Chain A
Amino acid sequence: MRLTLMADQIALAVRDLAVHFEMEQGVVRALEGVSFDLRAGRTLGIVGESGCGKSVTARSILRILDRPGRVVGGSIVLDPGSSGSTDVLALDSNAERMRAIRGGRIGLIFQEPMTALSVHYTVGNQIIEAVRQHSDLSKQAARDRAIELLREVGIPRPELRVDAYPFQLSGGLRQRVGIAMALAGDPDILIADEPTTALDVTTQAQVLDLLRRLQAEKGIALMLITHDMGVIAEMCDDVAVMYLGRIVEYAPVETLFAAPRHPYTRALLRAVPTILAKPRQRLATIGGAVPHPGARPVGCPFHPRCSEVIEGRCTAAVPPPIPPGQAGASCFLEVPG
């Protein structure tokens, strides 16, 4: 089964993406050569702790990176290998073409749906605007489409809710509206940035089910950003583990949980509290804290916290990145010395 899935078309190829934040105190290297593919009908999970660059990756793909963040290298190619392939980094972020891609090809779901929604307009008006941005539908037809989208994301009585303001909806319904907004331009790639972090656990389960159903129905390439290993286990086909702006491990989800290869992944998995814990069970911990991205350690960025550090190697050089599309770890334990 894996073989047929691997053959799924690559919708988006990110290669050697590098992002710097030029601050007064110096340059913060938020991303240092990140590569991965998003495939139709598959879910790539991006997991990591704060400051690892998960959200910067998402924002770079959509060209909505806030200043002083700047893409300094790499490529982000839509439909690689086809005649219509496009490097979104070559486009002006305000150009018509980029605006059509944003929402029309790539939809974004935010952690807090109110980021995407205005308090001043009804949810219907906002979805209608998004629908019309990406189609030639008339106002009435766009309204019908908005109601259909609300129904699709499981909002009860959508013909009434279409005229509600966001503040009149619960957190769960608002996130469903956020998903409907992201779907308004009928994108084939969806980026969900911590889509359930602000939600209660029963609502989270519903929203995850919804994302899975939509993906299956539409063959969407889904990139799911989260810090929650449970959500990763539940949702993803493949997983990229990030640490300080680099992908340190990439693997199919079963492999990642059964046989993690990078010491950071191993430590992270052991540190996660589990609903299956024994009474008063202690957790394995990773010493120290994630360093500030401006104070990146020399050598492998994880080496000061790593229990398997090789003096002289890990402290001196950065381990080689993982070739895109391959499972592996960016770690000197993997490289014969």
Chain B
Amino acid sequence: MNILDVVDLKKHYPIHAGLLRREIGRVRAVDGVSFHIAKGETLALVGESGCGKTTVSRCILRALAPTSGSMHFSLAEGQSVDLAALPKRALRPLRRHMQMIFQDPYSSLNPRMMVGDIIAEPLKVNGVPAAERNARVLELLELVQMPASARSRFPHAFSGGQRQRIGIARALALNPRLIVADEPVSALDVSVQAQIINLLLDLQDRLGLSMLFVAHDLSVVRHVSDRVAVMYVGRIVEIAPTDALYRSPRHPYTETLLAAVPAPDPTLRGRRMKATGEVADPSRPPPGCAFHPRCPYAVERCRVERPELTEIAPGRFTSCHRAGEIELAGVTG
């Protein structure tokens, strides 16, 4: 069963200019994105800055109104709603089912609230009685491996990693059907990052979380995700099960991204492929395949015809005209 089905999602920002503020163009931040998240699954959305990954996550949470497309969110077996079509008011009862884990554990917790109240806030808003709330807060603190005494302290008493645990406890308070985590470990030091990654893996196992994990760090993504969707200039260029994507990428951009990550092993030095050029401007994407100006495999067809995301093997989707004929290098341990 799918928790979320996103079909042809678009978010365009008009560019206005001149005396009459006429629309002279559009920034196609998200330009026709389709994917699903199955129950109990973590889908990672990766790409470089400006690729639209955060815009997608904000559309799903309806912090942004999509320009077009549908986002079917399952509420129970056989029952789903299109998040894209609902008016803001109708979204409110659904919010408890979608929770967010934020990047910055410093700005995402109210410094004037005690930790117990921060975690209980979503319970309170959703009418859970006080007695139950207390029990649930203790349960949640234990779940994120924090002492019960944390309840009556303020966020400033805690380190970045502990604060991120508090943020995770708050996100889990209402047993949401979907968690959207936007760069949840990128602001943390290595030793603390490892603790949070392990915690997320534990929680996935224990609670069967369904998660959209937005990240730019391909190493972190390899540890925590079941499948990966790679975005480039507003579109998904490849979706595949995590291990398959890393071992044998099927889109040249995925290959470029993987090759660019410096591996923590000096004996592998200098084996990197050169990435040339820069990420295209989403207000003026190149014709054809948006990656063609940087692609070492581009042919004439790539310059004129935009490739569609196609299933080339079970569960493996890529949008590359040459997917069937080129051999791409992955990373293997």
List residues of chain A with CB under 8 Å of any chain B CB: 49-50, 170-173, 200-206, 208-209, 227-235, 253-254, 257, 267-269, 271-286, 289-290, 305
Contact = CB atoms under 8 A, between A and B. Distances in A.
B194 A284 contact: yes
B107 interface: no
B159 interface: yes
Interface stretch (B61-69, B89-97, B119-127, B213-221): B213-221
Contacts of A253: 266
A241 to B, nearest CB: 12
Interface in B14-58: 48-49
Given A201-B218, A275-B258, A170 B278 contact: yes
B265 A257 contact: yes
12 contacts: A200-B279, A228-B262, A230-B263, A233-B268, A234-B262, A234-B266, A269-B264, A273-B193, A275-B246, A281-B223, A282-B223, A289-B161
Contacts of A49: 189-191
B206 interface: no
A3 to B, nearest CB: 19
B272 interface: yes
B274 A209 contact: yes
Contacts of A235: 262
B333 interface: yes
Contact of A277 (B191, B222, B278): B222
Contacts of A170: 278-279
A267 B219 CA distance: 17
B194 A286 contact: yes
B260 A205 contact: yes
Interface of B: 48-49, 159-162, 189-195, 197-198, 201, 204, 216-220, 222-224, 226, 242-243, 246, 256-269, 272, 274-276, 278-279, 331-333
B191 A289 contact: yes
B269 A273 contact: no
B242 to A, nearest CB: 6
B257 A201 contact: yes
A290 B193 CA distance: 12
A237 to B, nearest CB: 10
Contacts of A275: 218-219, 222, 246, 258, 261, 263, 331
A50 to B, nearest CB: 5
A85 B223 CA distance: 50
The interface centre, meaning the residue of A208, A278, A283, A305 with most chain B CB atoms within 10 A of its CB, is A283
Given A171-B49, A227-B189, A268-B191, A280 B223 contact: yes
A165 B83 CA distance: 42
B201 A208 contact: no
A168 to B, nearest CB: 12
A301 to B, nearest CB: 14
Contacts of B272: 205, 234
A203 B256 CA distance: 11
